[in-house]
């Protein structure tokens, strides 16, 4: 028997991605977002939704660019912090002891300490309601050499991305390997 | 030193969500999607991106509704299967021994065996490229009594959602609890 929970954002899991932008003075800012995901294969695109009240919203509207830096598990405290305070009031890179790196492809900075980076230019801006969705074309992905696995791709078990549970508000690590996609299903 | 991987959908992690729809004859269909995420808090919305070639794409265009059924870890083989074959050729509910339940709120079926369900009506359709993004307003969330935890919300550790690694094509379970959001960051 299923129990009704009402209309709410109870969808498991979501990512924990850190959005990097420059403000109008060129100061780097970062904020954590969970309302996000991949949204197209060709061109490769991802979407991230932000409230208009955030500093990052204004920065993306201005620069039409952002980066996603994927924090590894060891940075869970930092990732949470970056979602709690506003770049309007705090230099979050300095406060969290993170190093901004200027992207050579888009007008946005990324986080040097995080193992996986996606550099995006805005393709579409979708007004939904409280949140505005920015669809960014992924111009490049960069990964630390230390997290590379077979075939030169980043190994997700080395990246150790965070996993978020909306509404229940919990962070989790990546769990055990369960099998290979487009392969396991052949047994059905 | 970060290594360039080129423009690709290498973003960790993504969800593994099963999209339920009716076709024009009213036959229930399900397919697995990973290009998806929450995209707005008010109204509560999620987005799922599909190729026009999928059977589900045509069904959503016709019915303007879909459900998301979140498979638990035990259904990883089934979830993979539902992303490998097309509803044009196969009755996937029957083949995977799943039970379709008609939503009372939207014109779409969901999967009885999966612990967490979101019923959505289409608010926006965004043409991006190979994929079309459907933004659905979440009209209700339903959860099995067996996965409920504190405060009557579903416990993510009981739901055991799957986690996907795009391009590396691996499924993982949910990992260990790392802490509470909007709380851990206070220590920075």
What's the pLDDT score for residue B151?
Answer: 84
Using pLDDT thresholds of 50, 70 and 90, give the confidence band for residue B167. Answer: very high
User: What is the Cα gyration radius of chain B?
Assistant: 17
How far apart (Å, rounded) are the C-alpha atoms in residues A55 and A50?
10
**For chain B, what is the mean pLDDT?**
97
Dump pLDDT digits (tens) for A140-173.
999 999 999 988 999 999 999 999 999 999 999 9
Q: What pLDDT does residue A188 have?
A: 87
SS3 content of chain A, % helix, strand, coil (to 5): 20, 45, 35
Q: Min CA distance, B147 vs chain A (Å)?
A: 10
| List of chain B residues whose C-beta atoms are within 8 Å of the C-beta of residue A178 | 73, 76, 162, 170-173
Q: What distance in Å separates residue A23's CA from the closest CA in chain B? A: 23
Residue B21 CB-half CA count within 13 A: 29
Tokens of B20: 């339920």
Q: What pLDDT is stored for residue A159 in this prediction?
A: 98
- B2-40, pLDDT tens digit by residue? 999 999 999 999 999 999 999 999 999 999 999 999 999
Q: Is A88 exposed, middle or buried (0-12, 13-18, 19+ CB in 10 A)?
A: exposed
Give me the tens of pLDDT residue by residue for chain A, a chain 188 residues long.
899 999 999 999 999 999 999 999 999 999 999 999 999 999 999 999 999 999 999 999 999 999 999 999 999 999 999 999 999 999 999 999 999 999 999 999 999 999 999 999 999 999 999 999 999 999 999 999 999 998 899 999 999 999 999 999 999 999 999 999 999 999 88
Best residue of B1, B4, B5 to probe chain A, by most A CBs closer than 10 Å: B5
Quote the pLDDT of residue B1: 82
pLDDT tens string B75-98: 999 999 999 999 999 999 999 999
Nearest to A188 among B96, B137, B176 (CB): B96
Smallest CA–CA distance from A6 into chain B, residue? B140
Contacts of A63 (CB under 8 A, 6+ apart): A21, A22, A107, A108
Q: CB distance B11–A42 less than 8 Å?
A: no
Which residues of A are less than 8 Å from B117 in CB distance?
2
Considering only the beta carbons, identify the residue of A7, A135, A183 that sits closest to B138.
A7
Chain A nearest C-alpha distance from B4 (Å):
4
Give the pTM.
Answer: 0.98
């Amino acid at each position: 028997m299923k129990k009704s929970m009402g209309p709410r954002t109870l969808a498991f899991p979501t990512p924990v991605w850190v959005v990097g932008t420059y403000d109008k003075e060129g100061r780097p800012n970062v904020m954590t977002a969970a309302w996000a995901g991949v949204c197209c294969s060709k061109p490769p695109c991802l979407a991230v939704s932000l409230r208009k009240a955030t500093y990052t919203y204004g920065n993306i509207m201005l620069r039409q660019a952002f980066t996603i830096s994927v924090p590894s598990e060891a940075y869970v405290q930092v990732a949470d912090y970056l979602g709690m305070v506003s770049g309007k009031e705090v230099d979050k890179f300095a406060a969290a002891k993170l190093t901004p790196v200027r992207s050579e492809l888009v007008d946005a900075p990324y986080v040097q300490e995080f193992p996986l980076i996606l550099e995006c230019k805005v393709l579409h801006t979708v007004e939904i309601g409280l949140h505005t969705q920015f669809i960014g074309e992924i111009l490049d992905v960069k990964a630390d050499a230390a997290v590379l696995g077979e075939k030169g791709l980043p190994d997700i078990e080395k990246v150790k991305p965070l996993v978020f549970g909306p509404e229940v508000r919990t962070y989790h690590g990546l769990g055990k390997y369960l099998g290979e996609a487009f392969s396991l299903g052949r047994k059905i």
